[in-house]
Amino acid sequence: MSKKMLTNSEISAFCLGLSLLIHSGVGVGDGLALLAEEETDGEYRDMLKELSESADSGVSLAEAVKTSGRFPGYVCGLLEVGEKSGRTEEALSALARYYEDRARLDHQIKTALLYPAILLVIMLAVIAVLLIRVLPVFNEVYAYLGASLTGIAGGLLSLGRALDAAMPVLLVILGIVVVLIILFAAVPAFREKLTGFWRRRMGDKGVSKKINTACFAQSLSMGLSSGLPLEEALSLAGSLLDDVPAAKARCEDCQKRIESGESLSAAMKASGALPNTECRLLELGLRSGTGDAAMEQIARRLSEESEIALEESVARVEPALVMVTSALVGIILLAVMLPLMNIMTSIG
C-alpha cells in the first residue's frame, strides 16, 4: 500500500522546524524526536519517530526521508546535496520557503477554480428555472389572452420543455459536478490527479506558463543557494516539471545548451526558460559575482508576477460570468415581457 505524501504545508513546517532546531545546536535525530513530541497527529508523529530512529542509527537525513516514502524526490535530492556540502540547515530553510510558496500558490489556484465554478453552477440553475418554470407560466398567460409565445420567446419555451424532459439526466449530471467540486476542494489526492491531468495537456499556456517559470526559477535559486552545482540544480529544477512536457522540454534544452558551452543567461534566453528581461538581470548578476542573489531576486519577481497574473485572471472571470448570465436572464425576460406589453397596450 502506497504511503500518503505530505502536503506542501506539512513539508514546509517540517523543514522549518528542523532547520530552527539544527540552528540552535540540536542534532538531527534529537530534533526529529522533539518535533514528534510536539505533534498531535498520530500518523505524522509515527513518521517523525521513525525518521528520528533512523537518524540515531547513523542513516543520513536524506536517506531517511527518502525511505519514508512521504516526501517528493526534490526534497530528498536537495537534502542529500546539503548534507554532502555541510549546509543541511540552509537546505532545510530553502525548502521551507519554497514549499510555503507552493502551498500559498496551490491555495490561490484552488480558490481561483472553485469560486467561478460554483458561481457558474448557480447562474445556470437560475437560467434553467426561468426556462423550465417561469416561461410556461407566461405561455399560459399568453394563451388566456388568445396569443402564444413566438420568435425568441417561443424558441426559449421549446428549449425549456426539452430541459424539463431531460431533467432526470440533468440532475444526475449536476450531482456529479457538485461531487467533483467537493472532492476537488476537500481531497488533496484527487485534486492533485485532476490538476496533473490538466497540466500534462494544457498546463503551459497563459497564467500556467508564468507559474511554471516561477516554479523553475524558485527551485533553481534554491539549489544554487544551497551549494548545488549548476548542472545538478538545473536537473532538480527540471524534475519538478515532469508533468508539464513543454516546460520540461525548455529545461532540457537549457541544460543541453549549457553543456555545449553557452553561458547560463544565454542558454536561459535561447531556450525560453526565463523571460528576456530576467535573463539580462541574471547576466548582470553573473558578471558582478552575485549570480545567486540575482537568481533569488528573479525567482521572487517571477513568483509575484505569476500571483498577480492569477489574481487578474480570476478578476476577469467572475465579472464575465455575471455579465453573460445576467444578459441571458435579461434576454429571456425581455423576449417574454415586450410582446406581453404590446398585447396589454392593444387591449387597453
Exposure b/e, 202-216, CB count within 10 A at least 16 = b: ebbeebbbbbbbbbb
Q: Which amino acid is at 154?
A: G
Cβ atoms 216, 247 nearer than 8 A: yes
H/E stretch holding 317 reads: helix 291-347
Most confident range, picked from 43-57, 149-163, 286-300, 329-343: 43-57
Grid cell 447562474 in the structure block, residue: 123
Q: Could you report the per-residue pLDDT of 173-194, keeping only the tens digit for each?
A: 878 877 887 777 677 677 777 7
Cβ atoms 46, 62 nearer than 8 A: no
Least confident window among 48-62, 270-284, 302-316: 302-316
Q: How confident is the model at residue 1 (pLDDT cuts 50, 70, 90)?
A: very low
- State how far the Cα of 296 lies from the Cα of 110, in Å rounded to an integer: 26
Q: Could you report the per-residue pLDDT of 111-150, keeping only the tens digit for each?
A: 766 777 777 778 778 888 878 887 787 778 777 767 666 7
Q: Could you report the per-residue pLDDT of 321-334, keeping only the tens digit for each?
A: 778 877 877 777 77
For 247-258, what is the mean pLDDT? Answer: 85
pLDDT value at residue 72? 81
Grid cell 420543455 in the structure block, residue: 161
For 224-240, what is the mean pLDDT? Answer: 75
Q: Could you report the per-residue pLDDT of 10-45, keeping only the tens digit for each?
A: 888 999 999 999 888 888 888 888 888 888 878 888
∠ CA(254), CA(256), CA(258), 5° rounding? 70
- Rounded to two decimals, the pTM is 0.64
Q: How confident is the model at residue 342 (pLDDT cuts 50, 70, 90)?
A: low
Please check the confidence at residue 335 and state whether its pLDDT lies above 50: yes
Please check the confidence at residue 231 and state whether its pLDDT lies above 80: no
Most confident range, picked from 118-132, 231-245, 246-260: 246-260
List Cα–Cα distances, 308 to 204, 301, 312, 317, in angstroms: 17, 11, 6, 14
Q: How many C-alpha atoms does 115 have within 13 Å on its Cβ side? A: 14
Cβ atoms 241, 212 nearer than 8 A: yes
List Cα–Cα distances, 60 to 12, 29, 84, 127, 260, in angstroms: 20, 10, 10, 61, 35
Give percent above pLDDT 90 in the chain.
0
- State how far the Cα of 161 lies from the Cα of 134, in Å rounded to an integer: 11
Please check the confidence at residue 58 and state whether its pLDDT lies above 50: yes
Give percent above pLDDT 70 in the chain.
89
Cβ atoms 224, 292 nearer than 8 A: yes
Tell me the DSSP string of 267-301. Answer: HHHHHTSS-HHHHHHHHHHHHTT-HHHHHHHHHHH
Average per-residue pLDDT for the chain:
80
Most confident range, picked from 79-88, 94-103, 143-152: 94-103
pLDDT value at residue 206? 78
Q: How confident is the model at residue 347 (pLDDT cuts 50, 70, 90)?
A: low
Tell me the DSSP string of 64-95. Answer: HHHHHT-S-HHHHHHHHHHHHTT-HHHHHHHH
pLDDT value at residue 158? 83
